[in-house]
RNA sequence: GCGCCAGUAGCUCAGUUGGAUAGAGCAACAGCCUUCUAAGCUGUGGGUCGGGGGUUCGAUUCCCUCCUGGCGCGCCA
């Protein structure tokens, strides 16, 4: 049992003794101000009303009834409006580090698998151009969320949905065709809704090399195939540069070829939630929380994009994913209600909140104090590759993950690059490198540092106590971040903890200290190194041994 | 007009799900390198938590209402 659990159990006993119901669940938290102690609870304040007594009075009674030894508490006091503050003996507090040393890479991971699978869909870019900054934010978010869920014991599948059917692909093919005709000496006529980036001309060049007999691109289907293939390859390179891998690439076109789109419409009609109006087929999504009914089949007989969307999510459920998380830009938020409504209308037992959405706000890129909108290669937007090339993968990942998805993000390239020495990500990595340096310089094999025989009470400086507490809180932090699908909590926690490491490192020496202190501090250094490395790994950021 | 998200230090943003004296980075200023990495440490200044109500022991956090900004509201995808 961990130190908190012991304390909680003892508090329940004390609470019941003063008249609280047996199912009382005291909330324990770290006081903001360390001088208040190691743990605090507002239990007395929450009990005051039901017990009909003043908060401070209840607090005094609780302290009186608390078995300090059983709680593992060295000192309990009442403060402020009725907070109970607890201080642990340093030895009891720091002994928790032994668990970190044992767990190693498993520190912060759930002990047991959840036994369920979850599909995390992200990026899902149209294969019509290189990935842009928005995709970058999404890639960082989706990958980190996947890692968080994996750490919590979920069986995670990372999935990329290719919108390779429909108008935009036709426009892509005709855009490449236009470039081919330009090469053949004809006037350049990029079609309405076509693509203007330099990469279109590159694809045309490759097509011409591959099909010398069709230099003008008259075989539109062949042009389309080459364009999609080349852009998928291109996006794959972008993702590889960013260190993101997918388990499944799901093609929208397959939903048409395997009849799923037709079947979904038939199933919805059979479910009785459709109606015809003015020659079009509607789904009554308003019956399931949408704000207006949606057209499924247009008057011209073709389907709206909404139908394959529903069909696709049905496959997720049918493939055994009882949970689905979609990471998308906030500009898609209008579609969430209708997709869920479509799934509900089918009445096949898909949960109401399926899929879950993590929507992120837009990214604006600033350089030289001005918004950057144009990338030469892409023609109209800044690409992921532009950013990685300019500031490096670790920094890009961190910048995208340090903010809540709900916040609009300003990515200041000058800042990320020019301040590369004052960059938060380097600050965290530096803490890891410094800790690694202790073992390297001291010629101590970290694998031989265990908790055995360590006198934990030797870690009794304020800096050490704070660092120990932060490290011990790591699993709770990870669990909370995973639960909320919010990787930025990890990013901010790492920054705070790196600060504690730097402060401790600067103030206290390890090598050359007396044996008892040396052993304890080596154990602390190793525990901190493990925790930082595990945190960086969750965010997909490297943990260098030296910098 | 309706819906979603945001509004916190000069700038960019956190704020542990309602707690104690609201924080970090950058920017500004002043110090610290014969000792495991100075990509570091220490200190100083900087706030009407958009405005106004409400809920309660207690609100940056929850509710209502206004203001401002972003996004979305098609038989486009």
The string of DSSP letters for A209-221 reads HH-GGGTT---HH
Spatial CB neighbours of A349, under 8 Å, sequence gap ≥ 6: none
Alpha helices in A402-539 (DSSP H): 413-418, 424-441, 462-484, 488-507, 515-539
**d(CA A373, C1' B27) / Å:** 26
**Strand B positions closer than 7 A to protein CB:** 2-7, 12-17, 19-21, 23-27, 35-42, 57-58, 69-77
How far apart CA A496 and CA A100 sit, in angstroms, is: 19
Q: Classify A84 as helix, strand or coil.
A: strand
H/E run at residue A311: helix A306-318
Q: What is the value of pTM for the model shown? A: 0.94
Q: Which nucleotide is nearest to A525 (CA to C1')?
A: B36
Q: How would you write the pLDDT of chain A (547 residues) with one tens digit per residue?
A: 788 889 999 999 999 999 888 888 898 999 888 888 999 999 999 898 888 888 889 999 999 999 999 999 999 999 888 899 999 999 999 999 999 999 999 999 998 999 999 999 999 998 889 999 999 999 999 999 999 999 999 999 999 999 888 888 999 999 999 999 999 999 998 888 889 889 999 999 999 999 999 999 999 999 999 999 999 999 999 999 999 999 999 999 999 999 999 999 999 999 999 999 989 999 999 998 888 899 999 999 999 989 999 999 999 999 999 999 999 999 888 899 899 999 999 999 999 889 999 999 988 888 877 788 777 777 778 889 989 988 889 999 999 999 999 888 888 887 777 656 668 889 999 999 999 999 999 999 999 999 999 999 999 999 999 999 999 999 999 999 999 999 999 999 999 999 999 999 999 999 999 999 999 999 999 999 999 999 999 999 999 999 8
Contact indicator for A543, A398 with CB cutoff of 8 Å: no
Could you read off the pLDDT of A422-447 as tens digits, one per residue?
688 899 999 999 999 999 999 999 99
Q: Give the bridge partners for A58, in sequence order.
A: none
Q: Classify A410 as helix, strand or coil.
A: strand
Q: Which nucleotide is nearest to A31 (CA to C1')?
A: B20
Closest residue, CA to C1' of B58? A81
Contact indicator for A131, A109 with CB cutoff of 8 Å: no
Sheet holding A75-79, edge to edge: A28-29, A39-41, A83-87, A75-79
Residue whose pair of structure tokens reads 């009554």 in the numeric block: A284
Q: What is the pLDDT of residue A531?
A: 97
Q: What is the pLDDT of residue A419?
A: 57
DSSP, res A38: S
Token pair for residue A385? Answer: 């590759």
Q: Which nucleotide is nearest to A411 (CA to C1')?
A: B12
Token pair for residue A357? Answer: 């959405």
Could you read off the pLDDT of A85-108 as tens digits, one per residue?
999 999 999 999 999 999 999 999
Complex ipTM tops 0.90:
yes
Q: Give the bridge partners for A303, in sequence order.
A: A297
Contact indicator for A493, A532 with CB cutoff of 8 Å: no
Q: What is the pLDDT of residue A420?
A: 60
Token pair for residue A235? Answer: 């996006």
Q: What is the pLDDT of residue A204?
A: 96
**d(CA A534, C1' B16) / Å:** 20
How far apart CA A256 and CA A94 sit, in angstroms, is: 60
φ, ψ for residue A358 (rounded to 5)?
Answer: -115, 105
């Amino acid at each position: 049992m961990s130190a908190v659990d012991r304390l909680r159990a003892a508090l329940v006993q004390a609470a019941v003794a003063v008249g609280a119901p047996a199912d009382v669940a005291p909330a324990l938290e770290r006081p903001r101000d360390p001088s208040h102690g190691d743990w605090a609870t507002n239990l007395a304040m929450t009990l005051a009303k039901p017990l009909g007594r003043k908060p401070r009075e209840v607090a005094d009674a609780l302290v009186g009834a608390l078995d300090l030894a059983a709680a593992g508490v060295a000192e309990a006091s009442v403060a402020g409006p009725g907070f109970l503050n607890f201080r642990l003996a340093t030895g009891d507090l720091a002994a928790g580090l032994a668990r970190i040393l044992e767990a190693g890479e498993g520190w912060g991971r759930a002990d047991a698998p959840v036994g369920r699978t979850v599909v995390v869909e992200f990026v899902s870019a149209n294969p019509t151009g290189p990935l842009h900054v928005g995709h970058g934010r999404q890639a960082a978010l989706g990958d980190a969320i996947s890692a968080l869920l994996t750490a919590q014991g979920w069986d995670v599948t990372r999935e990329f949905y290719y919108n390779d059917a429909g108008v935009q692909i036709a426009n892509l093919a005709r855009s490449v065709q236009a470039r081919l005709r330009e090469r053949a000496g004809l006037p350049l006529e990029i079609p309405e809704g076509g693509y203007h980036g330099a990469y279109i001309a590159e694809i045309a060049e490759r097509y011409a090399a591959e099909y010398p007999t069709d230099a003008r691109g008259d075989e539109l289907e062949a042009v389309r195939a080459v364009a999609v293939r080349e852009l998928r390859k291109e996006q794959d390179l972008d993702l590889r540069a960013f260190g993101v891998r997918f388990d499944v690439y799901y093609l929208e076109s397959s939903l048409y070829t395997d009849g799923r789109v037709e079947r979904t419409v038939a199933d919805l009609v059979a479910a009785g939630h459709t109606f015809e109006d003015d020659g079009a087929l509607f789904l009554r999504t308003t019956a399931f929380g949408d704000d207006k009914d949606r057209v499924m089949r247009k008057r011209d007989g073709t389907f709206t994009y909404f139908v394959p969307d529903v069909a696709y999510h049905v496959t997720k459920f049918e493939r055994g994913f009882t949970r689905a998380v979609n990471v998308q830009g906030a500009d898609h938020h209008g579609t969430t209600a209708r997709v869920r409504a479509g799934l509900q209308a089918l009445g096949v037992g898909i949960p109401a909140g399926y899929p879950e959405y993590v929507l992120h706000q837009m990214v604006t890129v600033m350089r030289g104090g001005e918004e950057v909108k144009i990338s030469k290669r892409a023609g109209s937007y800044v690409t992921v590759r532009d950013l990685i090339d300019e500031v490096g993968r670790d920094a890009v990942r961190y910048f995208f993950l340090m903010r809540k998805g709900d916040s609009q993000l300003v990515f200041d390239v000058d800042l990320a690059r020019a301040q590369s020495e004052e960059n938060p990500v380097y600050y965290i990595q530096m803490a890891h490198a410094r800790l690694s340096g202790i073992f390297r310089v001291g010629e101590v094999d970290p694998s031989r540092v265990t908790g055995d025989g360590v006198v934990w009470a030797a870690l009794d400086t304020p800096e050490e106590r704070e660092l120990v507490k932060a490290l011990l809180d790591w699993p709770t932090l990870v669990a909370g971040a995973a639960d909320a699908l919010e990787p930025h909590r990890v990013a901010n926690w790492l920054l705070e903890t790196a600060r504690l490491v730097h402060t401790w490192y600067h103030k206290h020496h390890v090598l050359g200290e007396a044996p008892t202190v040396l052993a304890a501090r080596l154990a602390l250094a190793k525990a901190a190194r493990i925790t930082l490395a595990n945190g960086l790994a969750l965010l997909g950021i490297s943990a260098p041994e030296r910098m």
